[in-house]
Amino acid sequence: MPLTFDHYNFCSLGCMYCFAYVFKANNPAITDLKLRSVNVEHLIRNINGDVKGEKAKAFYELFYKKKFLLHWGGLADPFCNFEKTNMVGYPLIQELGRLNYPTLFSFKGNTIWKKEYRDLFEKYSKQRNFAFQISIITRDDQLAKYVEVGVPSPTNRIKTLKMLSDMGYWTILRLRPFIIGITDLSLDRLLNDALEAGIKAISTEFFAMDARCNTAMTTRYEWLAKMIGVKDLKEYFGKLSPVERGGYRRLNRHVKEPYIKKMYKFCIDNGLVFSCSDPDFKELNMSGSCCGMPDDFPDNRLLENWSRYQLTYALKEARKIYHSTGKKVEFSINDIYDKEKTPFLDVPRFVYDHVAVIGMPQAERRNMSHRKFLIKHWNNLNSPGNPRNYLHNKLIPIGLDSEGSLIYRYNPLEYEQRWLDEGIDLSK
């Protein structure tokens, strides 16, 4: 779990599946469409400890001072056309390099090929404080034009992966979102080309459909339905998605299994880290980072500096223990989100911009923290965010701890024995 950051409020790339577009299009609070960027000078001062205000000081003490991994590229692209024109992020990259600050860039854009940026990343390549994940959902350049409008071709992005790998950086194929009907058509070629480009990890997640369809999103969904060959995308996802996950429709495990199996086995066969953000098969992560960052990175230990006290890491460890010893791990919320190791979960101001608390009354929000938010959903078996529902029975409740919160146990599923019988190692 790294610290996610964007330096622009919008992205210039036009992906039909864009999660940021869905999130912002359905957020009534977002009415100003004017392009804005962070104040880089102010941010650099904050990173260096020149801070004012209670929230800013807490942020510095809990994250920047400890050089907590910065994930640059959450709801925007750090190297899209806005950066090519404005170069707002360039001085920040300079400072992050100077500080040896661990940073993971997540992007599709082409600005990184500008000489100034290539020279800068070449300069800091020996200290290895940067890592890169590049999103590619199809190896078919022609098909990509219809799904990712204005985005550099998959061929170009493969070349970018190779350029950064050749510099010695940790590079990741971000195969997200995996869109069945598009991604699977060229999956073998994509995996092999990314491997030749020098990737160290694959991070995947399947496309999910938000049931809240405004007019703009309906148009995009109709286009995607045409591309993947279904008549009605809403009906398709409605029939194949577990109802306990609520209005964010994720296809079930059985639909995803053959593709996950191919990617997981590919990683085992080629010594890559397999990472999965999708709640289905999240247990197969080979790292506690669903982004594909390594648990162990001796070239620069700072790249390991992301929190292990979160559900992905705990689930990964539970799977490894079960397939090594046969023990079904049990844990409470305090086992996963250890209070001493996660003090940032107790700062009320940090939760203010969380999408799930926007609709709360101000009085409730004022006292809300991420820990309270997690406990609330952890113990609510009707919540789509409850571990049993979110992971579709991969964890099952078995009792209560001393504080009255649910205890969950790792639940081996039928596919695990089948894979073992086929010779697939599940202890990695």
**375 and 261 assigned to the same domain:** no
405-428 pLDDT tens trace? 999 999 999 999 999 999 999 998
189-234 pLDDT tens trace? 999 999 999 999 999 999 998 887 667 778 888 999 999 999 999 9
Angstrom distance (rounded) from CA 84 to CA 207: 29
Is there a contact between 376 and 356 (Cβ–Cβ < 8 Å)?
A: no
| Three-state DSSP state, 356 | helix
**204 and 337 assigned to the same domain:** no
Q: Would 320 be classed as within a structural domain?
A: no
- Residue 240 makes CB contacts below 8 A (sequence gap 6+) with 251, 252, 255
**300 and 379 assigned to the same domain:** no
pLDDT surpasses 70 at 12: yes
**192 and 115 assigned to the same domain:** yes
Q: Specify the pLDDT at position 247.
A: 86
Q: What is the mean pLDDT of the chain?
A: 92
276-310 pLDDT tens trace? 999 999 999 999 999 999 999 999 999 999 999 99
What are the two backbone dihedrals, phi and then psi, of residue 259, each rounded to the nearest 5 degrees?
Answer: -80, -40
Q: Specify the pLDDT at position 188.
A: 98
374-416 pLDDT tens trace? 999 999 999 999 999 999 999 999 999 999 999 999 999 999 9
**280 and 401 assigned to the same domain:** no
Q: Would 183 be classed as within a structural domain?
A: yes
69-116 pLDDT tens trace? 999 998 899 999 999 999 999 999 999 999 999 999 999 999 999 999
Cis peptide before 91 (omega within 30 of 0): no
Identify the burial level of 333 via C-beta atoms within 10 angstroms of its C-beta, where 0-12 means exposed, 13-18 middle and 19 or more buried: buried
Q: Which amino acid, residue 27?
A: N
Number of domains forming the structure of the chain: 2
| Three-state DSSP state, 245 | helix
pLDDT surpasses 70 at 28: no
24 vs 177 pLDDT, higher one: 177
Identify the burial level of 32 via C-beta atoms within 10 angstroms of its C-beta, where 0-12 means exposed, 13-18 middle and 19 or more buried: exposed
Q: Would 162 be classed as within a structural domain?
A: yes
Q: Would 224 be classed as within a structural domain?
A: no
**284 and 334 assigned to the same domain:** no
Identify the burial level of 146 via C-beta atoms within 10 angstroms of its C-beta, where 0-12 means exposed, 13-18 middle and 19 or more buried: middle
Instruction: Tell me the pLDDT band of 355, cut-offs 50, 70 and 90.
Output: low
Is there a contact between 144 and 117 (Cβ–Cβ < 8 Å)?
A: no
137-170 pLDDT tens trace? 999 999 999 999 999 999 999 999 999 999 999 9
Q: Which residues pair with 171 in a beta bridge?
A: 132
The domain of 89 spans 3-208+250-307
**9 and 141 assigned to the same domain:** yes
- Residue 370 makes CB contacts below 8 A (sequence gap 6+) with 344, 345, 346, 347, 350, 351, 354
Q: Specify the pLDDT at position 286.
A: 97
**266 and 352 assigned to the same domain:** no
Q: Would 222 be classed as within a structural domain?
A: no
- Residue 53 makes CB contacts below 8 A (sequence gap 6+) with none
Q: Specify the pLDDT at position 26.
A: 58
CATH number for position 53 = 3.20.20.70
254-275 pLDDT tens trace? 999 999 999 999 999 999 999 9
Minimum mean pLDDT range among 21-25, 370-374, 405-409: 21-25
Instruction: Tell me the pLDDT band of 29, cut-offs 50, 70 and 90.
Output: low
Angstrom distance (rounded) from CA 291 to CA 275: 6
Q: Specify the pLDDT at position 371.
A: 93
Q: Would 312 be classed as within a structural domain?
A: no
